[in-house]
Amino acid sequence: MNNTSNLSTPAAVTPATTNTKTNNDSAEELKVPPLSGWLTDLHRHHHKDGDTPNKQVRTIGVLTSGGDAPGMNACIRAVVRAGRYYGYRMVGVNRGYHGLLRGEINELTAGKVSGILSRGGTFMMTARSKTFPTEEGIKSAARMAKVFGIDVLVVIGGDGSFKGAQKLAHVGLPVIGIPGTIDNDVASTEYTIGYDTAMNTAMECIDKIRDTASSHERCSVIEVMGREAGYLALNVGMSSGAEVILLPEIETDFDRDVIKVILECRNMGKNHYVVVVAEGVGNSVQIAKRIEEITGIESRATILGHLQRGGSPSIRDRQTACFMGMKAVECVNEGRLNRIIAERGGKCVDLDIDEALNMKKSIARDEILGAKIIAF
Ligand SMILES: Nc1ncnc2c1ncn2[C@@H]1O[C@H](COP(=O)(O)OP(=O)(O)O)[C@@H](O)[C@H]1O
Ligand SMILES: O=P(O)(O)OC[C@H]1O[C@](O)(COP(=O)(O)O)[C@@H](O)[C@@H]1O
Ligand SMILES: [Mg+2]
């Protein structure tokens, strides 16, 4: 059961018709309200504080949780602006579930989310909390939300944060989840906010490393993020022409998958090699050492690390953040609570949280095979 709207046409704020005629055509002929009319219309529908479409909800809280991801700020901004547009009181919870337990909750005005759209990270900060997942932790967090008058909590985070949100829903705090993680490992959605920026950052770094690897005729082993998920490694590896890509989801036979491939490349005339390793596969410094010992090819390891999580979000991430943020508020307006916002078939949809968290996704085998076929 999902509710669908096109990602490129958010219902809440886009004028309904597009002008394809020349500038000389009058607005009346085109049956398109002139721009000034459209603005007036927008104003007329602007709800006053408390005059909200969903009378059961007065206050919406928002937090970011787990690993930060570029575009989280853009998403907070969209949630806050859309929420305020409809007349909800908006509050921000600092430091994810950790801050919720501690009551780190502040009013979010339109001004507080100005100037953050293009900034990486999350201005509300994020955290991982060990206390929160306990039975007592969940109940305390829900109680704290109630103390601050939060009627619905919007959680921007990854798979772990969503499990926490589901538990909050089960103890009676309504939630909406928005996927934000560079790992793209949330089963219910094809895309998570931050993934595109992180892939581009890693790809640019690998291009630079390849320049020096080729000059020194070396093998470069490059570790990208992903403790349990290889989406980033696979797509970054393929897009930077890595000769070898190692993923946590696939068991590696070192001699067959690494050494043999590098030697075949050398015999074809290659003089440098890039091996992209997802963090969860193992120690990249050790991998480089073993390659050098067995092949005699000078090897170096680079761990890209946290730089992959930072930086100004790409347009893909900003746009997805804006649409998903607006969709979350649309769900509240229409009384659809305990939902996960997702991208499915290129559309922004919302799914029941229990159904969404039961979904599974894995890297397509043909994508892995394809990356191997064009690697050399
Ligand atoms: N199974 C779970 N039950 C309840 N809360 C969880 C669970 N897993 C994670 N969390 C909470 O969500 C936080 C963020 O999860 P984490 O896995 O670190 O990041 P992400 O949400 O990006 O995957 C954790 O620190 C924890 O407080
Ligand atoms: O910030 P830390 O603790 O170094 O965590 C690193 C992990 O965080 C991530 O960037 C994001 O993972 P989560 O969002 O699931 O926490 C992973 O790719 C990486 O393995
Ligand atoms: Mg995760």
Average pLDDT over residues 284-300: 98
To the nearest whole percent, how much of the chain has pLDDT over 70?
87
- Residue 67: both structure tokens together: 């690993």
Q: Which ligand is nearest to the CA of 95?
A: 1
To the nearest whole percent, how much of the chain has pLDDT over 90?
82
Closest CA to 325 of 1, 53, 13, 57: 13
pTM of the model: 0.90
Buried b (16+ CB within 10 A) or exposed e, 48-67: eeeebebeebbbbbbbbbbb
Distance (Å) from CA 279 to ligand 3 centroid: 13
Contact between residue 180 and residue 324 where contact means Cβ atoms under 8 Å apart? no
What pLDDT sits at residue 320?
A: 98
- Asked if the model's pLDDT at residue 21 lies above 90, the reply is no
Q: Which three-class secondary structure state does DSSP give residue 203?
A: helix
Cα gap 162→283, rounded to integer Å: 29
Distance (Å) from CA 183 to ligand 2 centroid: 8
Q: pLDDT category, 47, cuts 50, 70, 90?
A: low
Please give all residues whose CB falls under 5 A of ion ligand 3, grouped by chain where several chains appear. Answer: 158-160
> Of all protein residues, whose CA lies closest to atom 14 belonging to ligand 2?
67
At position 89, the amino acid (one-letter code) is R
What pLDDT sits at residue 333?
A: 96
C-beta 309 within 6 A of ligand 2: yes
Selecting among 68, 183, 317, 350, the annotated active-site residue is 183
> Annotated binding residue at 84?
no
Counting every residue written for the chain, the total comes to 376
Alpha-carbon Rg for the chain in angstroms: 24
Q: What is the pLDDT of residues 109-130, one digit of tens each?
A: 989 999 999 999 999 999 999 9
Q: Which ligand is nearest to the CA of 169?
A: 1
CA distances from 201 to 34, 43, 82, 209, 233 (A): 42, 40, 30, 13, 12
At position 215, the amino acid (one-letter code) is S
> Of all protein residues, whose CA lies closest to atom 5 belonging to ligand 1?
164
- Asked if the model's pLDDT at residue 307 lies above 90, the reply is yes
What pLDDT sits at residue 30?
A: 44
> Annotated binding residue at 78?
yes
CA distances from 55 to 6, 335, 341, 352 (A): 27, 9, 22, 21
Average pLDDT over residues 176-203: 98
C-beta 160 within 6 A of ligand 2: yes
Q: pLDDT category, 149, cuts 50, 70, 90?
A: very high
Alpha helix ranges (H) inside the chain: 27-30, 35-44, 72-85, 96-101, 135-147, 159-170, 195-216, 231-239, 260-267, 284-295, 315-333, 353-358, 365-373
Q: What is the pLDDT of residues 319-338, one digit of tens each?
A: 999 999 999 999 999 999 99
For the chain, domain boundaries:
59-194+313-357, 196-309
Q: pLDDT category, 22, cuts 50, 70, 90?
A: very low
- Residue 307: both structure tokens together: 């730089």
CB-side exposure of 131: number of CA atoms within 13 Å? Answer: 13
Which of 369 and 139 is assigned the larger pLDDT?
139
What pLDDT sits at residue 46?
A: 64
Cα gap 313→120, rounded to integer Å: 6
For residue 47, the 8-state DSSP code is P
What pLDDT sits at residue 125?
A: 98
- Residue 359: both structure tokens together: 């979904």
Q: pLDDT category, 52, cuts 50, 70, 90?
A: confident
We find that the CATH architecture of domain 59-194+313-357 is 3-Layer(aba) Sandwich (3.40)
What pLDDT sits at residue 24?
A: 39
Give the atom of ligand 1 at the shortest distance from the alpha carbon of 162.
21
What pLDDT sits at residue 48?
A: 66
In degrees and rounded to multiples of 5, residue 294 shows phi and psi of: -80, -40
Element (H, E) at 301: strand 299-303
> Annotated binding residue at 272?
yes
Q: pLDDT category, 55, cuts 50, 70, 90?
A: confident
What pLDDT sits at residue 34?
A: 45
> Annotated binding residue at 226?
yes
Average pLDDT over residues 136-148: 98
Distance (Å) from CA 55 to ligand 1 centroid: 31
As assigned by CATH, the class of the 196-309 domain is: alpha beta
ipTM of this predicted structure: 0.98
Degrees, nearest 5: CA angle 254-260-264? 155
Distance (Å) from CA 139 to ligand 1 centroid: 16
Cα gap 84→93, rounded to integer Å: 16
Give the atom of ligand 1 at the shortest distance from the alpha carbon of 65.
14
What pLDDT sits at residue 25?
A: 38
Cα gap 151→60, rounded to integer Å: 6
